[in-house]
Amino acid sequence: MSGFRVGLTTHISPGIHHLRCGPPRSAAVRSRRLNRGQRGQAPEGFIIYRLVLWNIDLTLVDVVRVSREAYAEAFRRVTGRPLVALPQQAGRSDSEIFFESLALNDVSTGGSEQGGQDLLARYTRELTAAFSARRDLLTRNGRLLPGALQAARATAGLPGVIQSVLTGTIRPNAAEKLSAFGLADLFDLDIGGYGSDVYPRGSQLLASRVQAEEKYRVQIAARAVVYIADSGRDVEAARTAGAGCIAVASGRSTVGDLRAAGADVVLTDLSDTAGVVQAVEQLTGVAASR
């Protein structure tokens, strides 16, 4: 394994394909470059060799109340029925929640797969509209979780890191949640995994890595991918995909649950920025060279 120099810090390369040296850049500068680079080229002077994926709900933000109201409105508009029983949401995608809601509330999909898919497509449109209509409530009735902004900024500023999200939320609503709390510029949403995807989250994680490689024309080793998330299902997804997992006990899972699920690192919350950074460095193979 060869050492190389990026900015002021010497690192060991975990699966480097292409390198360019330059001074360390702040997260803000990186963010602007990231946006400019979204047509498919690595931004100038920005070398990507590791991918940090973040879960959104109960990892970065808590907007459960607004989400529930939007679910209920979209469900009522699509089915003509009130959403009386709401299934468990932790670690589940919006499409899973929808189909479980249909079952729990005795709504038929007409018996055909196509009928179910048509209902899901209508529900997704209604959920986007219902969420967008509640944009102003996100900060009023929701909150950024402790240390989330600082931690996401710090990891965005690490050498070689590209960040995206791996979430059960559909993409437009993921964008709303991140924008409401000033997080949007820290993530490239084009390479993320969302609640409208039908694949399991472990497969979505692998797909995100491939999308990042294709978009930025780089190679990212499986062990240079880390998922920061809050549920046992998230931990399982990372393990399935051979990625590292930093689990945060800010959701429904306890520290013990997350340890038992096999998380590499478990944190009570994101308030220790240096601890989050150190965990990312360790799991992506960089800290060993220090």
Neighbours of 274 (CB within 10 A): 10
Nearer to Mg ion, 168 or 172 (CB): 168
Nearer to Mg ion, 38 or 88 (CB): 88
Site string for Mg ion, 221-250 (x = CB under 5 A): ---------x--------------------
CB of 143 to Mg ion, least distance (A): 14
Site string for Mg ion, 197-226 (x = CB under 5 A): ------------------------------
By CB atoms closer than 10 A (0-12, 13-18, 19+), residue 232 is: buried
Quick check: 176 binds Mg ion (CB under 5 A)? no
Nearer to Mg ion, 188 or 230 (CB): 230
CB of 248 to Mg ion, least distance (A): 9
* Residue list 47-66, contact with Mg ion (CB under 5 A): 55, 57-58
* Residue list 58-117, contact with Mg ion (CB under 5 A): 58
CB of 116 to Mg ion, least distance (A): 25
Binding site for Mg ion (CB under 5 A): 55, 57-58, 230
